[in-house]
Amino acid sequence: MSVPRAPNNPLPAITVLEAIRQIIVPNTRLTLVNPNDPTGLSQVYVRRRYDLMGGAFPAVNLQTGQQQFKIWSNRVWAGILPVLIEYYDRWDRQPSTIDDIRIRIDTDIEAIKANLENNNALVVNGTANAVSVPEILISPDLGEIETRVPGVFAVYRTITAHVQMMPYDT
């Protein structure tokens, strides 16, 4: 029986997603949703969009986009990990117009972007989880509507943070 090979990359995507989760919440409305969680971390889901839809709003889901890895030298690789930060707020359970919800989402999107810009190496508890975040993309201000979950109507926007992964040996 063969032994499964360990991954070369010491920082798999889930580690980077958890680091992103730790730094995006400050100065957003996410800190106001749950009185039992002033950190707001309970409003950030990692690869759990459908769990998010059953919870309180606003909320964020983190997941990865298409990852790209390139060889830097003989045995050294590095990669770009697109992290999708999907920010949702429901409009079917509040009197606000979709336009007002978009304005509130935009305010938090800007705060999340600033949090990423201020900690672009994703340093959490003294550990750098990336080289940098060299590019941040924000979806158009169309106020996309999530309707894939029956009975849930949420407005959302997406930030894509391209995370430059730490180089690693093979």
* Digit-coded pLDDT (tens) for 81-122: 999 999 999 988 888 888 899 999 999 999 999 999 998 888
Please report the pLDDT score of residue 9 as a whole number.
Answer: 65
Signed CA dihedral, 30, 56, 145, 120: sign only: positive
List of long-range contacts for 140-143, beta carbons under 8 Å, 24+ apart: 141/102, 141/106, 143/98, 143/99, 143/101, 143/102, 143/105
DSSP conformational letter for 114: H
pLDDT score at 1:
61
Question: Where in the chain are the domains?
Answer: 13-169
Q: What is the dihedral of CA 87, 64, 48, 62, to 10 degrees?
A: -30
**Rounded CA separation 91/70 (Å):** 42
Give CATH for domain 13-169. 3.30.70
CB 154, CB 53: distance < 8 Å: yes
In the block, tokens 């429901």 appear at: 90
In this predicted structure, the answer to whether residue 2 has a pLDDT above a threshold of 70 is no
The pLDDT mean for the chain works out to 88
pTM of the model: 0.89
Is the pLDDT assigned to residue 163 strictly greater than 90? yes
Buried residues in 113-138 as b, exposed as e (16+ CB within 10 A) = bebbeebbbbebeeeebbeebeebeb
Q: What band does 6 get if pLDDT is binned at 50, 70 and 90?
A: low
Question: What confidence tens digit (pLDDT) does each residue in 143-159 have?
Answer: 688 877 888 888 999 99
- The answer to which of 16-30, 31-45, 141-155 has the lowest mean pLDDT is 141-155
